[in-house]
Structure 1
Amino acid sequence: MKFLSPVLFIFLNCSFCALCFKTNKSLKLSYNINNLKKSRKNFNNNIKVYSSNEHLKQLKYVREVTNASIQICNNALKECNNDIEKAVELVRKNAKNSLFVSTSVKTQKEGLVAAGILDNKIVLIELLSDSDFVSRNDKFVSFVKNLVNIALVGEMPSLNKSEATANYAASSTTFTSSTHNIDNLLTLPYVDENGRSNETVGEHLNYLRNIFREDIKIGRFTKYVKRNEQEFLHFYIHNVIEGNNTVGLSGVLLVMNIETLNENLKTKKEDILNIADDLAMHILSAKPVSISVDRLNEKVVKRELDIIKESLKDLKKPENIITNMINGKIRKFYSSVVLLEQEYMLDDTKRKVSQVIKDFSKKHEININVEYFDNFIIGEQNILKD
């Protein structure tokens, strides 16, 4: 019996240790499983939050363009599988008033717009950042100013036929913000304000990204080369930075065709500059996408006509009245997006821009026409143009 007592004690002790080990292992396993479930739940929640944020952005876009109720916009997005362009069309087709409320939508971007003229060339460029803190930094401001000079001096390839057709007012002398042209700009030698060059534009862009830890990139870009001696090049920058009239938060590039330009500049230069500034300010405010109706993209016109016809299909009226309503609505559309058809915004005369130009030409005996324009506004995107 004395001999068995120590043996029994050892046996019981070992059994207890084994039980503790097993229990501890089970507890650890249970803890790990619970953690895994919790992580999966958090992951799923993150997906839901991300999806929700994306949906809210889409909802905001559709509502901003159509001014329809949140419920109507939400239903349209669901029906169109979150395709925002189709959702906008659907809302407008079903609306009593099928016209655009706005062709511009807000974008979550900061940055600067800069412009410059050199001989027979003019450039308008947009440089984007994530925060205004970065876009106001001296390095950022210097970079966008240098970009303008580089784009003016650097050789840019001609637009091919398909690119020119896709553009609203493209010609063989216009270089726009296609991926091809921006990529070409990035390969040009970067020359700083002191004339030093030991890297490409793309390499200096990456240098700024590493310094500021932000997604700095070239946004929209236009370069125009004069086709004849009658073309007058002009730019206007709004909300200028530090008194520099070449850099700001928005800008317009404008090309006007003026008969006997050189002679008129000798005696009427101030008048020409005034009308150019006025037209540029109107463009910035009214945000047209085309100079004239015949230059408006055919796809845009066709889509607009389809939307108007669809919105009127349930009206029980004679065919001639429906036709007149369609013509009236398409004229209203032109007056919203075509420069020469828009109501001039810088006075209260309710004249069309085309009439303002005619009145100026008659008063100052200068025959002028708008040949080309482009405009960039930081934080805004034109849904018919950009």
Structure 2
Amino acid sequence: MKFLSPVLFIFLNCSFCALCFKTNKSLKLSYNINNLKKSRKNFNNNIKVYSSNEHLKQLKYVREVTNASIQICNNALKECNNDIEKAVELVRKNAKNSLFVSTSVKTQKEGLVAAGILDNKIVLIELLSDSDFVSRNDKFVSFVKNLVNIALVGEMSSLNKSEATANYAASSTTFTSSTHNIDNLLTLPYVDQNGRSNETVGEHLNYLRNIFREDIKIGRFTKYVKRNEQEFLHFYIHNVIEGNNTVGLSGVLLVMNIETLNENLKTKKEDILNIADDLAMHILSAKPVSISVDRLNEKVVKRELDIIKESLKDLKKPENIITNMINGKIRKFYSSVVLLEQEYMLDDTKRKVSQVIKDFSKKHEININVEYFDNFIIGEQNILKD
């Protein structure tokens, strides 16, 4: 009995320790689970209804333009009731650097860009699909090619002309991708590659939608008609499809005014084509929205000035210094969105595009000016232009 007492004591002591350990472990587990529930509840409260795909797209848009944190962008969207343009302005007004990080944002679209020239007309058009599988299909490629020819040949006089803003010369005959213009384009007779026509463009578009079960539609569209004999029409297509230089993933439509064009084309055609290609490639890379400062949309300039002034309002500096800072920031803005003010991207000379054009004109004794341009990139949208 005396021997059993110590053994029994040890056994009871071990049992008690084991019970305490188990209880403590259970309490810790319960505590961790409760904390996890609270954290999840707080997280759910934070995202609430904003976890929808639409909100995520808006959040991505604001962040892509401003490069601000997700939290700042999310708060801005909440404060602006999910108005993305106001949210961008709010983020930029409160940021140390109010300049755009990018004027282009990604879009969830596939498709092709195609271009063509006929006599005194040039067309650039974008055809969209949901997948690249469809946009690479022969039927899709043939349709976008035919669409260019139809737009070139078709009677477009009933369509609305674009307003003289951004890149457009005030008296030019330019048709752009307004809803009215695209609707009218859809009513034109659809002529296939064999010259047959028994339906409209819109009817053939619906035929393709039924075949592929995708939302195929005309995206952006520009048609320019020459105003005089000095205008040189040119297009450049990048990432061409199947070696066809009229169809690809991005493209530029360019109109240059060249003095004594016909005479210069006889002896300097290659030089003219080279500078046209170079300017088009720069436009595709730098993504300007206007040729010159005076052609930049007044609303865009006013909004930019308001954002800059708002971002500097709390600085305790003399008025003349604030004015200089505002002027410096607006010049920097111009250098990022105005073609002639941009730094030329095809060499390392750090010249402005305007200087590149002057140097070319002097070297080849050809007086040229950029009269109009437009550019489309599949999967990208310019927030100041489109």
1:159, 1:174 within 8 Å by CA — same for their partners in 2? no
1:158, 1:173 within 8 Å by CA — same for their partners in 2? no
Show CA shifts across 1:152-202 (max 9, x none). Answer: 001113665884469866644000000111011000000001111000000
What TM-score do you get using the length of structure 1 for normalisation?
A: 0.86
Structure 1 CA distance, aligned partners of 2:4 and 2:198?
A: 91
Q: Does 1:291 align with 2:299?
A: no
1:168, 1:296 within 8 Å by CA — same for their partners in 2? no
Question: How much does 1:17 deviate?
Answer: 58
Structure 2 CA distance, aligned partners of 1:336 and 1:258?
A: 26
2:159, 2:184 within 8 Å by CA — same for their partners in 1? no
* CA spacing shift, 1:265–1:47, aligned 2, 3 Å: same
Q: Give SS of 2:165's match.
A: helix
Structure 1 CA distance, aligned partners of 2:221 and 2:376?
A: 9
Show CA shifts across 1:26-65 (max 9, x none). Answer: 9999999999999999999999789521111111000000
2:232, 2:256 within 8 Å by CA — same for their partners in 1? yes
Structure 2 CA distance, aligned partners of 1:32 and 1:163?
A: 64
* CA spacing shift, 1:187–1:264, aligned 2, 3 Å: same
Show CA shifts across 1:224-276 (max 9, x none). Answer: 00000000000000000000000000000000000000000000000000000
* CA spacing shift, 1:2–1:342, aligned 2, 3 Å: closer
Unaligned runs of 5+ in 1: none
Question: How much does 1:85 deviate?
Answer: 0.2
Structure 1 CA distance, aligned partners of 2:343 and 2:187?
A: 43
* CA spacing shift, 1:41–1:63, aligned 2, 3 Å: closer
Q: Give SS of 2:163's match.
A: helix
Q: Does 1:135 align with 2:135?
A: yes
Q: Give SS of 1:115's match.
A: strand
Q: Which moved more, 1:356-365 or 1:34-43?
A: 34-43
Q: Which moved more, 1:214-223 or 1:169-178?
A: 169-178
1:189, 1:201 within 8 Å by CA — same for their partners in 2? yes
Structure 2 CA distance, aligned partners of 1:169 and 1:124?
A: 17
Show CA shifts across 1:66-95 (max 9, x none). Answer: 001111101100100000000000000000
2:166, 2:289 within 8 Å by CA — same for their partners in 1? no
Q: Give SS of 1:68's match.
A: coil
Residue in 2 that maps onto 1:271: 271
1:157, 1:181 within 8 Å by CA — same for their partners in 2? no
* CA spacing shift, 1:169–1:134, aligned 2, 3 Å: farther
Unaligned runs of 5+ in 2: none
* CA spacing shift, 1:73–1:50, aligned 2, 3 Å: closer
Over the residues paired in the alignment, what is the CA RMSD in angstroms? Answer: 10.0
Q: Give SS of 1:164's match.
A: coil
Residue in 1 that maps onto 2:159: 159
1:182, 1:218 within 8 Å by CA — same for their partners in 2? yes
Structure 1 CA distance, aligned partners of 2:103 and 2:67?
A: 11
Structure 1 CA distance, aligned partners of 2:132 and 2:46?
A: 28
Structure 1 CA distance, aligned partners of 2:117 and 2:75?
A: 49
Structure 2 CA distance, aligned partners of 1:239 and 1:31?
A: 58
2:166, 2:291 within 8 Å by CA — same for their partners in 1? no
Structure 1 CA distance, aligned partners of 2:276 and 2:230?
A: 15
* CA spacing shift, 1:194–1:49, aligned 2, 3 Å: farther
Q: Which moved more, 1:149-158 or 1:247-256?
A: 149-158
1:158, 1:175 within 8 Å by CA — same for their partners in 2? no
Q: Give SS of 2:270's match.
A: helix
Q: Which moved more, 1:242-251 or 1:42-51?
A: 42-51
Structure 2 CA distance, aligned partners of 1:161 and 1:86?
A: 29
Structure 2 CA distance, aligned partners of 1:319 and 1:21?
A: 71
* CA spacing shift, 1:134–1:38, aligned 2, 3 Å: farther
Show CA shifts across 1:292-312 (max 9, x none). Answer: 000000000000000000000
Q: Give SS of 2:314's match.
A: coil
* CA spacing shift, 1:169–1:32, aligned 2, 3 Å: farther
Structure 1 CA distance, aligned partners of 2:3 and 2:188?
A: 95
Show CA shifts across 1:89-129 (max 9, x none). Answer: 00000001000000000000000000000000000000000
Structure 1 CA distance, aligned partners of 2:316 and 2:222?
A: 48
1:124, 1:223 within 8 Å by CA — same for their partners in 2? yes
1:59, 1:77 within 8 Å by CA — same for their partners in 2? yes
Structure 2 CA distance, aligned partners of 1:216 and 1:264?
A: 43
* CA spacing shift, 1:167–1:158, aligned 2, 3 Å: farther
Residue in 1 that maps onto 2:258: 258
